[in-house]
Structure 1
Amino acid sequence: MSLIKQLWLAIIVILLIALGGSLLVAVTGSRAYIEQELEIKNTDNANVLAQAISNAPNQDLVGIELMISAQFDTGYYRKLQLVDGEGRPIIQRVSEVAEDHSVPGWFRQLISFDVPSGTAAVQDGWTLLGTLEVDSTHAFAYQSLWQSTLRMAGWFVAAGALSLLIAYMLVRHISRPLKTVTRQAHDIGERRFTIAPLPRTLELREVSEAMNRLSESVREMLERESEQIDRLRRQLLHDAITGALTRDAFIDRLSYSLEQDGESSYGIIALIRATDLAALNERRGHLHTNAVLSDLCQRLTAIADAHGEGYVGRLNGSDFALLLCGNVDEAWARERLSDNLSALAEQNSPVLRLPAALGTYHHGQSRTTLMSALDGALSMAETRPGQAIETCRHAEQAALYHSRAEWRSALVEAMEHGVLLGQYPVLDRQGSLLHHEAPARLNIKGEWRQAGTFMPWIARLRLHDSLDIRVIDTALETIHHHRQPLGINLSHAAITQPNVVIALQQRLSARPDSAPFLWIEVPESIARADLESFRYLCQSLAPFGCHLGMEHVGAAFRQLGDLRDLGLSYIKIDATLCRGVSHRPEQQTILRGMATLCHSLAIKAIAEGIDEDEDIETLFELGLDGVTGPAVSARADVASGR
């Protein structure tokens, strides 16, 4: 609700309270006064009539009845009766005249006079003949109070209309500069810290200046917090000399890639060994050796950045690893690796050699087996002369087809027959479902294959847009029938193609009721490598109410402040930061800071790749909003009785 509407609402509420309260006080005060007057009248009339009867010379029942009837016939009484000592009526007169219909029945029920009867003793000398009870009619009181209420209500309506007219003129006068302030307030509420021009109105100018200072200070605070968190993350997960991931962090990243069912579940991995570091250190010094290792890490990082989603790790003093996730041309990776290693080795010849082993990995592969095969290939490369790169054949996955034409035909046919979406739960701290992660699977050769099997060929044949549209259609159809939130991944290439975004807009427009159940996420490498395409995606889908997020967030967390205006709903923090958190206090500090910063930007923080049940409670204690991973799936299965 806009500030102008809130101001109008406040004015109307205040007027209603003031005028309605005044009317209520006036009516209740009049009612109490009339009740008091009626009570006095009943008492006075009872005493006068009782005195008249007591002084009458003829005090037989006929005479008394005539006096009571004469008084009752004046029309001012509802009931006159003479009762004996035990309360039994001796003489009774009750009015049968209908009430005046000029007063509404609801008003009578609302007011409902409660006036006690007037009583007086009737005596014959010292003998008590009975007790006279007098109830005056309330018709005149109701009519008088109703007319008085109408007059007061009319005056209050006129006063309210005049007040609203004055308020309208006032609001109209200040609405223009106020809109600027309300827009800025709205931006701050949406975690967009803009600087607004200053209005001319003095009071609003002061407010705008204060909000500008607030916006700027919050922006600076978020930048400082994100920089501090990034610095702690690098201290914890990265080697101090080279900047590469530590062994534990890299192994966690590799394990998560082998476990997950998505586009990062396949790719290329390489091991590189810097030989004779002791001789290099002795000949050229410690600082030069560190510079060589840092140069090696920078070259490997450049290869990872050129690919998009990649990681560099230092496994020990001399061994480095390069992980390239998703579709990678092996010839390209070998060429880039060979060029960089050869150049660095030549600069430090003949002391330094950089043998390497190169292989592929895929979902479900044993990490131990993979690393053993790579280590064996690396040992063979060490025995070869020159700058050798040995291919690890053991790490390769058996091919289903052997030509591009066969793969294209199989993939097109599989997509025509439909896409199957997996379901891996993402739970909040109450154990409720946030959404299901839904990686795509295709039926190839009679079996539902996971993404690691067909995604390399989807990329080589440039079928990303077709697959993404099929995934979107299947997700919306599933949501329409089951009304459960689903999270889908869009491919790297498809996000840069407007036809996929347009197709997504058309489908969300056709099913607006399903849009709030759709969670769309992309890897953080999109935000780093192609921010404008990601911005276009977020802006295009913002009107539909679906959830947009980033997965594998680690290094890009420092850029989160730059993305606050995109309307991100959530991020999924990389498994290298989340795994084993219950045993790592330093990691807990980083995650607590990340969760706090996310909440300040109205973004949910979700931990991914959780494989230990005890980590789940720790993550929620640190302030995270959701968890996903093998341990979470197992907990969900137990809760559902499967």
Structure 2
Amino acid sequence: MTLFREIYSLLFTLFLLIVASLGYVQFTETQDFLTKQMASDLNNASNSLGLMLVPALETGDTAAAETLVNVIFEGGYYQNIKLTWLVDGKQQEWHNSIRIEDTPQWFLDLHLFDTIKKESTITSGWLQLAKLEITAHPGFGYHELWRIISNTLIAFSLLFLVAILFARIGLGWILKPLHAISDHARNVALRQFSPDMPLPRTSELKEVVQAFNSMSAQLKQVFDSLDDEIATLRKKTLVDQVSGLPNRQYMVSRLNGWLNEPSNGALFLARLDCLEAIHNRYGYQIRDETIRLMSIQFKAQLDDIAPSLIARISAVEFAFLVTNVEYEKLNKYLETLIRTINQEITKADCKPNEHYAIGIAERIELTTVTDIMAQADNALQNALQNNKVYQWHSIHEQQIFTREQWRTKLNSAIKDKQFQFRWQPVLRTDTGAISQRELYCQLQLGDKLVHAGQFMPYVDLLSLGSLLDKCLIQALGDHDVFAHNPEPVAINLTLESIISPQFHAWLDEFLRTSAHTKHICFEIPELGVFSNADACQTLCDIIRKHGAKFGIDHFGRQFGSMSYLQKLRPNYVKLDQSFAYYDEHQQNSELCRALINVAKGLDIEVIVTGIQEKIQLERFAELRIDAYQGYIAPPIQLELDAAEDMYANTVNNG
């Protein structure tokens, strides 16, 4: 029971006791007063009637005596009058059985008044004429007592209701700071730090509010300091201090993640020997300023062409990781890169298209970080030796289909639901049990099975992301995957779905009609959070409203504040694969530890990804992660047509 209800119940009980006590006192005093009044009236009536009957009794006029008694009997509340003539012993008796109006019978049956009688002897001088016995009728007492008690109860009830109403309003106003403290404490428990509460006028509550404000401010400072620590570590370990761009370590980690995801693109390596000439001619300050200005122009000019990661990996070398683009867009990116370099080196009195070279290596299947770095470097060395501005790596993988062919085939596949599924278990670190299963999709085109890495870039390019997500989610629902699988199923959402109001409305309706929302998880890439925080908030509110779960994928990949965790409140985060080898660099280890501490401090589960071997998992033992995922437990095929036997199959397959 809440404090408000306890105090309210106490006041209610005390007021009820007071009203009951006052009612009892009023009742007994009224009863006693009416008893005395009836006795007094009876005595007066007896005396008056005795005096009035003397002449009739002296003359023996029975009719006159009866007339006089009737006058008295009919005018008052008398139950019985008995007149006994002493001369001949004759008795006359009058009895009144009339019910009292406006008084309920059950109240009369309570017998609240005792029988009141008055006996007297009527005399004339020393001569006794008759005996008179009058019994008072209690109806007068019952009528008056009922009227007074009824009015009193009505008055007390109205007073009681008014008092209770004012007590409720008053208690609500008095305890309002306590409600604010309760809400504030709940938010602090959820690691949501709101502005300081205003101080109440009550001294005791004022001290409590001051204590809560101080505690909230200190906890907020702790989490802010963790966020600042992450930003400092990133700047120290992953950012080149001169250019402000990511460094080689960050580029290599992103390459690892990129090559393990369904995507395509290319890696550009640019060697700018002209920077050494600027250094020799003007000194390192001018060289560093040129690098800084060139980096600004790189980001400004190239981001409009295609999404890319730009990093400075050595004194005169830059790397450009261009993802999810086709060959034609890579050519346009290369042209813009060359033009930007020429513009910047010309400002430093260097000749365009001289003293720099670019090597390009496209991603092909089963490419490793070492392979693609070596291919890009070989292309760069060939360009330098042959005095060329750029050189593509000689191996060029022919595209399966053109863009329009991909458009036709993807639209047809989405319409006919031609996708196949695999899923990979996420295992708990403490028990080894399956925490969830992450879903992956493949596309069946004729007799050829196309992996997501081949068609997902075209899904993004052709703006088919939300249609694909609807198709996959609906397919899982139609085959009762959520109903038959005991563990939650994690579905990766595309960036288009995250920002699409139409997809939000569709998902809201789908979850509303689904009976197994607790078995559905949605994964939002961290890039989506930083790209459109408001859209992510709307999507997460819809997911949470229907009881489904959601997590943040590639956690820690993006440069930015982790404060979004307090706003979105995800159920879990998946560390970016670049942290799978976190202990190979001490500084990277500190960053990984700080990211985990931020998430655990907000009571968010942490899942580490990219685990290939058991020795990798052992390195995370001291970091209190909740679960892990990787090819240590590889994906297995999911047969939608056998959904009824899904649970048995997944158990047998481990």
Q: TM-score, normalised by structure 2?
A: 0.65
Deviation at 1:498, TM superposition (A): 0.7
Report the counterpart of residue 619 of structure 1 in structure 2. 620
Judging changes above 3 Å, is the alpha-carbon distance between structure 1 residues 557 and 508 closer, same or farther for their aligned structure 2 residues? farther
Tell me the number of residue pairs that the alignment of Structure 1 and Structure 2 aligns.
479
Report the counterpart of residue 566 of structure 1 in structure 2. 568
Deviation at 1:499, TM superposition (A): 1.0
Asked if the contact 2:305/2:332 (under 8 Å) is kept, the reply is no
Provide Cα deviations, 1:519-569, integer angstroms capped at 9, x if missing partner. 222222222222222222122322122222222233547422244122222
Superposed CA RMSD: 3.5
Provide Cα deviations, 1:62-96, integer angstroms capped at 9, x if missing partner. xxxxxxxxxxxxxxxxxxxxxxxxxxxxxxxxxxx
Alpha-carbon distance in 2 for matches of 1:426, 1:223: 31
Is residue 630 from structure 1 mapped to residue 631 from structure 2 by the alignment?
A: yes
Asked if the contact 1:270/1:359 (under 8 Å) is kept, the reply is yes
Provide Cα deviations, 1:110-167, integer angstroms capped at 9, x if missing partner. xxxxxxxxxxxxxxxxxxxxxxxxxxxxxxxxxxxxxxxxxxxxxxxxxxxxxxx99x
Alpha-carbon distance in 1 for matches of 2:6, 2:398: 70
Alpha-carbon distance in 1 for matches of 2:440, 2:356: 38
Residues 29-108 of structure 1 mapped to structure 2, 5 A cutoff = none
**Which region of structure 1 is more displaced relative to structure 2, 623-632 or 220-229?**
623-632
2:243 partner SS: coil
2:223 partner SS: helix
Q: Equivalent of 2:491, from 475, 481, 488? A: 488
Judging changes above 3 Å, is the alpha-carbon distance between structure 1 residues 325 and 401 closer, same or farther for their aligned structure 2 residues? closer
Is residue 549 from structure 1 mapped to residue 547 from structure 2 by the alignment?
A: no
Residues 332-411 of structure 1 mapped to structure 2, 5 A cutoff = 332-350=332-350, 353-362=355-364, 364-382=366-384, 388-392=389-393, 394=395, 396-402=396-402, 404=404, 406-411=405-410
Residues 258-277 of structure 1 mapped to structure 2, 5 A cutoff = 258-260=259-261, 262=262, 265-277=263-275
5+ residue gaps, structure 1: 13-164
1:438 partner SS: strand
Alpha-carbon distance in 2 for matches of 1:7, 1:379: 78
2:612 partner SS: coil
Judging changes above 3 Å, is the alpha-carbon distance between structure 1 residues 592 and 368 closer, same or farther for their aligned structure 2 residues? closer
Judging changes above 3 Å, is the alpha-carbon distance between structure 1 residues 307 and 580 closer, same or farther for their aligned structure 2 residues? farther
Alpha-carbon distance in 1 for matches of 2:621, 2:468: 35
Asked if the contact 2:271/2:317 (under 8 Å) is kept, the reply is yes
Alpha-carbon distance in 1 for matches of 2:476, 2:201: 52
Report the counterpart of residue 74 of structure 2 in structure 1. none
Asked if the contact 2:556/2:595 (under 8 Å) is kept, the reply is no
Judging changes above 3 Å, is the alpha-carbon distance between structure 1 residues 552 and 9 closer, same or farther for their aligned structure 2 residues? farther
Q: Equivalent of 2:309, from 311, 323, 331? A: 311
Deviation at 1:466, TM superposition (A): 0.9
Report the counterpart of residue 451 of structure 1 in structure 2. 452
Judging changes above 3 Å, is the alpha-carbon distance between structure 1 residues 524 and 333 closer, same or farther for their aligned structure 2 residues? farther
Alpha-carbon distance in 2 for matches of 1:411, 1:562: 34
Report the counterpart of residue 598 of structure 2 in structure 1. 597
5+ residue gaps, structure 2: 10-163, 637-648
Judging changes above 3 Å, is the alpha-carbon distance between structure 1 residues 173 and 230 closer, same or farther for their aligned structure 2 residues? closer
Report the counterpart of residue 412 of structure 2 in structure 1. 413
Report the counterpart of residue 505 of structure 1 in structure 2. 508
Report the counterpart of residue 209 of structure 2 in structure 1. 208
Report the counterpart of residue 148 of structure 1 in structure 2. none
Provide Cα deviations, 1:488-523, integer angstroms capped at 9, x if missing partner. 211112211111111111111111x42222222222
Deviation at 1:316, TM superposition (A): 3.4
Asked if the contact 1:304/1:311 (under 8 Å) is kept, the reply is no
Alpha-carbon distance in 2 for matches of 1:471, 1:526: 20
Judging changes above 3 Å, is the alpha-carbon distance between structure 1 residues 442 and 350 closer, same or farther for their aligned structure 2 residues? same
Asked if the contact 2:555/2:576 (under 8 Å) is kept, the reply is yes
Asked if the contact 1:573/1:607 (under 8 Å) is kept, the reply is yes
Alpha-carbon distance in 2 for matches of 1:363, 1:201: 71
Report the counterpart of residue 525 of structure 1 in structure 2. 527
Alpha-carbon distance in 2 for matches of 1:319, 1:631: 36
Provide Cα deviations, 1:150-204, integer angstroms capped at 9, x if missing partner. xxxxxxxxxxxxxxx99x9696675544332222222222221112344444433
Deviation at 1:616, TM superposition (A): 1.0
Asked if the contact 1:362/1:452 (under 8 Å) is kept, the reply is no
Alpha-carbon distance in 2 for matches of 1:563, 1:445: 44
Report the counterpart of residue 291 of structure 2 in structure 1. 293
Judging changes above 3 Å, is the alpha-carbon distance between structure 1 residues 560 and 278 closer, same or farther for their aligned structure 2 residues? closer
Deviation at 1:330, TM superposition (A): 2.5
Asked if the contact 1:520/1:548 (under 8 Å) is kept, the reply is yes
Alpha-carbon distance in 1 for matches of 2:525, 2:463: 19
Alpha-carbon distance in 1 for matches of 2:612, 2:234: 21
Report the counterpart of residue 141 of structure 1 in structure 2. none
Alpha-carbon distance in 2 for matches of 1:230, 1:200: 41
Report the counterpart of residue 37 of structure 1 in structure 2. none
Q: Equivalent of 1:537, from 530, 536, 539? A: 539
Judging changes above 3 Å, is the alpha-carbon distance between structure 1 residues 612 and 585 closer, same or farther for their aligned structure 2 residues? farther
Report the counterpart of residue 580 of structure 2 in structure 1. 579
Judging changes above 3 Å, is the alpha-carbon distance between structure 1 residues 348 and 456 closer, same or farther for their aligned structure 2 residues? same
Q: Which has the larger radius of gyration?
A: 2
Amino acid at match of 1:275: D
Asked if the contact 2:178/2:205 (under 8 Å) is kept, the reply is yes
Alpha-carbon distance in 2 for matches of 1:199, 1:222: 28
2:563 partner SS: helix
Report the counterpart of residue 281 of structure 1 in structure 2. 279
Asked if the contact 2:302/2:336 (under 8 Å) is kept, the reply is no
Amino acid at match of 1:271: L
